[in-house]
Structure 1
Amino acid sequence: MSALQEFKTITDAEDYFDFFDLEYDERLVYVKRFHIMKKYGEMIQKADGHDLGSDEKLLDYYKFALISVYKNFENGYSPSAAEIWDTFGKPSACSTCSTSSSCNDIEEVSNGVHSCTSQTNLSFN
């Protein structure tokens, strides 16, 4: 099996780092796994359809892309709520006030739930 074929069988974030023999913070990868893999996938897709000359150069690009994405997260990059919502698509309806899918009064995103500013605030004193 060629190195490129082996690369294409990898599915776990840690295995990508091991494949390229890169050091990484296991805790950071554990916490940011989804976001790292999403950004890394986007970088890999950019190489699709481009002739980089050889499998070795393509793998060098993949390695550079992984290092670049990882370093961004290591240096404190955190995706915005808009990026997270874009990942999952737009919510089908406001989960707090059950309005239509056109609810644009989203105030906050927390654990996959947003609150609508048109919803009356409740207080439990």
Structure 2
Amino acid sequence: MSDFEFIEDLEELSSAEEFLDYFEIEFDAKVVMINRLHIMQRYHDYLQQAEKAGTLPDQESTLKEAYKQMLTQAYQDFVESDALTEKVFKVFHMHGPQTTFVPLDQLLES
């Protein structure tokens, strides 16, 4: 992928609201406030999947539209669902508390 002006613009954005505003996506501030990290992680995941699959367009205008669609989908995921259901982060995939067994004789060794 070549250097596109909008990619440089994205590097200047820091909040979920700034990304949504940049792509002119209407959003409910309450949904974003509660799920901002989840939305941005899901957006990153969508971008990464598209990149690995080689499905990102080569033209700047179509690439920008693809980025917009992926961000819109990431946002919609949390309008229609919640963080616990979507399980974006690794911590949500852990099954129960992690335990480790240390034999008593190893505790006494120095």
Q: Which category describes the TM-score, using the shorter chain as reference length?
A: 0.5 to 0.7
Higher relative contact order (CA 8 A, sep 6+): 2
- SS where residue 12 of structure 2 aligns? coil
- CA gap 1:84/1:52 in 2 versus in 1, 3 angstroms: closer
Is the 8 Å Cα contact of residues 42 and 88 (structure 2) preserved in structure 1?
no
Identity %: 23
Count of residue pairs the alignment pairs up:
95
**Partner of residue 70 from structure 2, selected from 44, 65, 71:** 65
Could you tell me how far 1:39 is from its partner in structure 2?
0.5
Give 1:16's aligned residue.
19
Higher-helix-fraction structure = 2
Structure 1 stretches of 4+ moved >6 Å:
none
Structure 1 unaligned segments of length 5 or more: list them: 102-125
Give 1:123's aligned residue.
none
Give 2:100's aligned residue.
100
Give 1:109's aligned residue.
none
The TM-score normalised by the length of structure 2 is: 0.68
**Partner of residue 50 from structure 2, selected from 40, 47, 52:** 47
Higher-strand-fraction structure = 1
The TM-score normalised by the length of structure 1 is: 0.61
Is the 8 Å Cα contact of residues 4 and 55 (structure 1) preserved in structure 2?
no
1:2 aligns with 2:11: no
CA deviations on 1:13-41 (whole Å, 9 max, x unpaired) are: 00101101121111110101111111111
